[in-house]
Structure 1
Amino acid sequence: MALNRLVLSNFRNIVSVDLQLAPAVNLFCGANGSGKTSLLEAVHMLASGRSFRSRQSQTVIRHEADVLAVFARLAGGTTLGVEKRRDGQGRIRINQSPAESSSQLASCLPLQVINSESFAALDGGPGVRRQLLDWTVFHVEHGFALQWKVYQTALKQRNALLRRGKIDSKSLDPWEQQLVKSGEAVDMLRREVFSRLNVQFQRRLLDLPESVFGALQLHYRGGWKKELSLGEALQASREGDLAQGFTRVGPHRADLRFVIHGQPAHAVLSRGQQKMAVCALRTAMASVVEGAQKAVFLVDDLPSELDEGNQALFAHWVSACASQVLVTGIEHSVTARPWLQLPEPWNAPKMFHVEHGVVTAAEN
């Protein structure tokens, strides 16, 4: 769902700004440190309740202020608002009414961030890739969030018992039963969405050099041996879990694996090739979610991450699956180039100039 209007106050070096955004492409250009990325951070806060650069909201509040506020009106008329105070308190509002959790924000505004940290999916830990899959499942399968929450509660209780050391099986049984019920539901939903995600991912690889990407495969691993049920895996792992003090099998250990000829993809692909694989994955994620609600992409300084040809291909992928994109860069002409090659309305970006926290609409 695209943003029509974005309002910020006291967000990093931005004192106050009220922007009318274009429905497709919005470019924010200026020197390093001018406040471009802060605009993307603010939109991310509207979709998650926090910045993508810091989990501590106090560091995002402008140094002379006690409170920051971010507000947006979406294309469908929904309004989102987030307020963060220096004392750690804050408010989240949807259509002027208090929201119960940040997941409600995420439901209203599916968001994909492409920045230097986004490209760690191939060589990062399993948790990074698991979050990518779960973002997709969350927006497609509305029962997923509840099942995952129930699973995490049961997991926390089982781990607490394991840390005690010597315990009888009767103490573990109730929590293991809950782990099995919710864990198998989580795994089933993940597998269903993964099959759709993999189809979209492979379609995008067809746009890349076959000699490099033709053998790239994406695999899902559920977090326990596939020949066992989750209940059997928990039973088999119990003794070792007691020794280690935590649960070593289950959906919380799931992973996505990128493989080329049996080798981890990050050991085969160059850094630039890895970036394109991640771009293919993230646009594939958005394509799967598209049936429910199109995502907004936040793209930070694309020219510094991809060469000109890959920028154009990425822009093409985004235009096919996103509702809107907000892009930062240093030079207007360079930042706009990959989008100008697209069909309407993607080839008519709205341009903004950012300087010392002041944002002004620029002449196209």
Structure 2
Amino acid sequence: MALTRLLLSNFRNICSADLKLGPGVNVFCGANGSGKTSLLEAVHMLATGRSFRSRLHKSVIQHDTGGLTVFAQLDTGFNLGVERLADGSGRIRVNQAPAESSSQLASCLPLQLINSESFSALDGGPGVRRRLLDWTVFHVEHLFAQEWKNYQIALRQRNALLRRGKIDEASIGVWEEQLALSGERVNDLRLAQFSQLETAVSQLLGELPQSLLSRVDMSYRRGWRKEVDLRSALSESRESDVSQGHTRIGPHRADIRFTVAGESAHNILSRGQQKMLVCAVRTAMAEVVCRQGDMPVFLVDDLPAELDDSNQQIFAHWVGRCASQVLVTGIDEGTTSRPWRQLDAPWNCPKVFHVEHGKISAEASAAQ
């Protein structure tokens, strides 16, 4: 799936824009602060309901305006729309009908984001890496979203009981039963896709020149001891959980570890190698989802600032195999377009847009 038309209103410094996007690579060039990243941010909001730069909707709305709107037409025939108002309210629509949640947007528009924050996966907290796996599982296993929701409900209820101090056995037993049931299902769904993801990452790293990246191992930690089932683990940890006031084990504590010869990859790999590892993981996620028939859209923010020329070319080659469309930003058009122009059609004919002071215009030759 791909975006064919994108409309923005009052999104950061972009007053308005109505863009017809190309099916392959769309390059947005301009000086720093011109609005390039804001455009990617708007597309991200269409797929998730939120910005990737701020959790506060008000900070994304253009100053002195009542609210923002983002609207897109997809080549699948779907229309997606998000409205955020300065008073904190808003609407999400799919084909002009109110959406039940932002997950409905995500299912319509699988999206991969590569920006400077993406490269924090190795040294960030477990939640950062856990979300990488969950994105993959969400787009492959349709039962996952509901099971994860059920787990979160039970988790909140158990935590509320733990904070009371005096535990009613019957009450907490009910929620631990639900927590264990949904938690085991979540874990099983994650395990199945982790195996696929691990294989895909290994294959991509195998295409790189021989280096420490060839020795990277991935492992999945489910969030509680392997020797026991979740129901037993919850019962065993109840007393210590009461003292802490929250549930300290379960799928919400899961993690993916990246190691080299048993040591954390973050401590062994160079910064450039870490970035290529993250690119391989993100691409592998897209490949796993692509096997189900959904080719994601990639948002790539200023790749020349993150990777050298040879690694840019490798990454572009990877993305060209599993993406439906790419929106990429950069300061210089030639440098930003170069990795893509060396690929086969349709990737080698980027549609170029120029961004200046929040105004976006298609390059004349590309518009024809």
Could you say which residue in structure 2 is the equivalent of 1:15? 15
Within-5 A mapping of 1:313-324: 313-324=314-325
Q: Does 1:155 align with 2:122?
A: no
- Indicate the residue corresponding to 2:219 in structure 1: 219
Q: Which moved further from structure 2: 228-237 or 332-341?
A: 228-237
- The 2-side partners of 1:141 and 1:295 are apart by 16
Summarize deviations over 1:25-59 as a string: whole Å, max 9, x none.
00000000000001000100100111111111111
Q: Where do residues 1-364 of structure 1 align in structure 2 (5 Å cutoff)?
A: 1-290=1-290, 291-362=292-363, 363=365
Q: Judge conservation of contact 2:296–2:322 (CA < 8 Å) in 1.
A: yes
The 3-state SS of whatever aligns with 1:348 is coil
Partner AA of 1:347 in structure 2: N
Shift of 1:237: 1.0
4+ long deviations beyond 6 Å: none
How far apart, in 2, do the equivalents of 1:357 and 1:214 lie? Answer: 43
Separation of aligned partners in 2, 1:159 and 1:207: 46
Determine the C-alpha separation between the residues in 2 that align with 1:17 and 1:177. 51
On the 8 A contact 1:47/1:108 being kept in 2, the answer is yes
Report if aligned partners of 2:26, 2:351 keep a CA contact under 8 Å in 1: yes
Aligned positions, number: 364
Distance 1:346 1:148 in 2: 37
1: CA distance, partners of 2:186 / 2:342:
41
Work out the CA distance in 2 between the residues paired with 1:325 and 1:185.
34
2:134 match: secondary structure: helix
For residue 326 of structure 1, what is the amino acid of its counterpart? Answer: L
Aligned Cα root-mean-square deviation (Å): 0.9
TM-score (norm 1): 0.99
Return the alpha-carbon distance in structure 1 between the equivalents of residues 37 and 254 of structure 2. Answer: 32
> How far has the Cα of 1:231 moved from its partner?
1.0
Alpha-carbon displacement from aligned partner over 1:178-207 (angstroms, at most 9, x marks no partner) = 011100000000000111111111000102
Q: Deviations over 1:295-350 (max 9, x none)?
A: 00000000000000000000011111110000000000000010011000000000
Quick one: distance in 1 between partners of 2:98 and 2:195? Answer: 36
Aligned AA (2:12): R
Identity of aligned residues (%): 66
- Residues in 2 aligned to 1:163 and 1:210: alpha-carbon distance in whole angstroms: 52
